[in-house]
Amino acid sequence: MSGAASGLFITLEGGDGSGKSTQAALLSEWLTGQGRTTVRTREPGGTEVGLEVRELVLHHRGDIAPRAEALLYAADRAHHVATLVRPALERGEIVIQDRYIDSSVAYQGVGRVLDAQEIRSLSLWATEGLLPQLTILLDLDESVARARLDSARTRYDRLEAEAAEFHARVRAAYLDLAAAEPDRFLVLDAAQPVDVLASAVRARVAALLA
């Protein structure tokens, strides 16, 4: 089904505090400067429905059962892809998105110890099989990411508040996903300076557009 799209779908993945939105903004700016039309979006919360799901899944006081959490992210994704991402790709635009299927596999599949393959299948069902052409993984040591978050804010959302052990499993899951699909992933050491990362991203995207 992903063949229906003629644009370019790029996702950014990595732990909380790994710098995804900074790199997404720089990439979008660069592509716009090249005369390309880009759409910057994110999950959860890329649509109006998604904002309500985001509020629930990130800020609900009290527990959410792991399978319910997985379904909420999948519901957000289904609506986002159907109403925003796929239409933009069909118009030939470049979609630059913070987080997608790999977040669910890493956080719900491995972090919450649901079955990674089942979570992937759920997301693929939700999106009618849409996968990105490029996924940039900003890999960062858990303790460095935590220090960045600590200096930036005082309140954590439900996922950020998880223990270091949870985030270490999420990081390992991302690296396994990247190793399994080396053609789709670009893995970068997110401890590098912002401009070094940005030029590595640009080089890879330029190659895809050539």
Contacts with ligand TYD by CB under 6 A lie at 16, 20, 42-44, 58, 73, 98-99, 103-104, 107-108, 157, 159-160
Residue 91 tokens read as 């118009």
Q: Least Å distance between CB 106 and ligand TYD? A: 8
Q: What is the DSSP letter of 108?
A: I
Task: Please state whether the peptide bond connecting residue 193 to the residue before it is cis, i.e. omega within 30 degrees of 0.
Answer: no
By beta-carbon proximity to ligand TYD, the closer residue of 43 and 139 is: 43
By beta-carbon proximity to ligand TYD, the closer residue of 155 and 210 is: 155
By beta-carbon proximity to ligand TYD, the closer residue of 36 and 158 is: 158
Strand order through the sheet with 8-14:
38-42, 94-98, 8-14, 134-139, 185-189
Q: Least Å distance between CB 137 and ligand TYD? A: 13
Q: Least Å distance between CB 15 and ligand TYD? A: 7
Taking each helix axis as running N to C, give the angle between helix 194-209 and helix 20-33, from 0 to 180 degrees, rounded to the nearest 10.
50
By beta-carbon proximity to ligand TYD, the closer residue of 159 and 187 is: 159
Length of the chain: 210
Residue with tokens 């957000």: 76
